[in-house]
Amino acid sequence: MLNEHEEPEWLFPFDSMEVGDSFFIPTLEPSGLIYIIDTRAKAAKVRIRAYASVKDGCLGVRVWRMR
């Protein structure tokens, strides 16, 4: 069971993304999730941009594949 502010383990679709594609992950802690996304993207040798964002009133992180 997750604690109140504990993030689940995420699977990122880097391999299936084309340059310019993006995805959004809702979270209450965008800075921590951005760090995790950046770390996993480097391991996958994928260049991304990740920013805190709001979608449909929900705080989260939007990630774009750059190359």
**Which pTM was predicted?**
0.79
Q: Give residue-wise pLDDT tens across range 34-58.
A: 999 999 999 999 999 999 999 999 9
In a domain, 48, yes or no: yes
Judge whether 25 lies within some domain: yes
User: pLDDT tens digits, residue range 3-30?
Assistant: 556 656 778 888 889 999 999 999 999 9
Question: What spatial distance separates the first Cα and last Cα of the chain, rounded to whole Å?
Answer: 36
Give the list of residues 6+ apart from residue 12 with CB closer than 8 angstroms, or none. Answer: 23, 37, 40, 41, 44, 63
User: Is 1 a domain residue?
Assistant: no
Total domains in the fold of the chain:
1
Asked if the structure places residue 5 within a domain, the reply is no
| Residue 57 located in a structural domain | yes
Q: How far apart are CA 8 and CA 58, in angstroms?
A: 17
